[in-house]
Amino acid sequence: MNKLSIVVPCYNEEQALGYTNAELTQIINKLVESGKIHKASFILYVDDGSKDSTWNMIEGFRKQYPFVFGLKLARNVGHQNALTAGLLAAMEYADMVISIDADLQDDVSVMEEMVDRYREGCEIVYGVRNRRDTDTLFKRSTAIGFYKLMKLMNIDIVYNHADYRLLSKKVLEQFALYPERNLFLRGIIPSIGFRSAIVKYDRKSRVAGKSKYPLGKMFAMAFDGITSFSIQPIRMITVLGLIIVLCSLCAAIYALYSYISGKVVAGWTSTILSIWFIGGVQLLSVGLIGIYIGKIYVEVKGRPRYVVEINDLTEIDHEEQ
Ligand code: UDP
Ligand code: MG
């Protein structure tokens, strides 16, 4: 009933993986011994097209431990896709999955708490960072900006939560119904629903190796997150267009007034009027077209409209009717 899978996306993690495997095998043994998880629980390493010896290491662990498995992707597809590959593969064989990065920045000891919450009936347990002391000031402030921006764009995400979380099979089955290609798990998971909880931990610095998320990738991720979740930017363009059209009315009054009072050179009034008015109308039109494209975008993603938690109708015996 309580079969756990720990899914770890790895990209060029040869320096960190030895430490990570030692900690994860230890925690899985501990949880099995305490009877909180089934003894067939396992760790799944996803090699995201690493160019170093990551896969060889995973194969080594596989030989050493019966509960370690590997999934090798044919090329590097990025953290979110690699994680999704792992989640969907593990889903078939587990009742709950915990995803964690390969660099031990997230505290593995709170996995026990996550499992406890699951056993109490939570379907999603978010790992939330208590402090960000180990991150640089820059990373901290960009992160705060990121959450503010997300809020502005109407995207519901859990504050200070990255991709360290427990998901039940039920949630994963729903997640599998999201056919979209632009993945932003931190946005999708809360949008599914179900009972959830958070557990807090202190985020540490990387155990070894370098971050695979340099500044460029971080911005790309934030931009991706916004554009795959929100058509708010398009709405903003439309509003801006409307504001400019309104401003053009004020500009028109001013220009006409100047014209009547005879203070202007010939041609100025018509030029200034056209610039303002045409500019506003163009922006408004682009925004309106954008809104239709936004709707197409939402339709194309084909996300489920709702997720059913309990349906009593399924208990009706069809034979009796
Ligand atoms: N990762 C991955 N594919 C990539 C980049 C990163 O699977 O293309 C993995 C990486 O091995 C790590 C996790 O994603 O397990 C998070 O990356 P990292 O720790 O470098 O990010 P940071 O914590 O610095 O934001
Ligand atoms: Mg990291």
Split at pLDDT 50, 70, 90, the class of 320 is low
Ligand 1 binding pocket (C-beta < 6 A) is: 9-11, 13, 48, 76, 78-79, 82, 101-103, 105, 211-213
Q: Whose CA is nearest to atom 2 of ligand 1?
A: 79
What are the DSSP calls for 203-235, one per residue?
----SSS--S--HHHHHHHHHHHHHTT--HHHH
Q: What share of the chain is helix, strand, coil (3-state, %, to 5)?
A: 55, 15, 35
Burial of 120 (0-12, 13-18, 19+ CB in 10 A): exposed
Interval 168-197 mean pLDDT:
89
pLDDT of residue 146: 83
Identity of the residue numbered 46: V
Q: Find the 217 Cα to ligand 1 centroid distance in Å.
A: 10
Task: Answer yes or no: is pLDDT of 7 > 90.
Answer: yes
Instruction: Give the predicted TM-score (pTM) of the model.
Output: 0.78
32 pLDDT exceeds 60? yes
Residue 289 has pLDDT above 60, yes or no: yes
Across 134-148, 213-227, 273-287, which has the greatest mean pLDDT? 273-287
Q: What is the fold, at CATH topology level, of the domain defined by 4-214+304-320?
A: Spore Coat Polysaccharide Biosynthesis Protein SpsA; Chain A (3.90.550)
Q: Give residue 106 CA to ligand 2 midpoint distance, Å.
A: 8
DSSP classification of residue 134: T
Looking at residue 319, its pLDDT comes to 64
Residues 6 or more apart in contact with residue 102 via CB below 8 angstroms:
8, 9, 10, 11, 13, 16, 17, 20, 45
N-term to C-term CA, the chain: 34
Q: Give 123's pLDDT tier (boundaries 50, 70, 90).
A: very high
**Strand runs (DSSP E) across the chain, as ranges?**
4-10, 42-47, 68-72, 96-99, 124-129, 161-168, 196-201
Q: What angle do CA 214, 218, 224 make, to 5 degrees?
A: 145
Mutate to test the pocket of ligand 1, among 213, 219, 221, 224 (most ligand atoms within 8 A of CB): 213
pLDDT bin (cut points 50, 70, 90) of residue 218 is confident
Tokens for 82?
A: 């690699």
Distance of CA 138 to the CA centre of its chain: 21
User: How remote is the CA of residue 314 from the centroid of ligand 2, in Å?
Assistant: 44
Residue nearest to atom 16 of ligand 1 (CA): 101
Say how many Å lie between the CA of residue 213 and the centre of ligand 2.
Answer: 8
Instruction: Give the start-to-end residue ranges of the domains of the chain.
Output: 4-214+304-320, 232-301
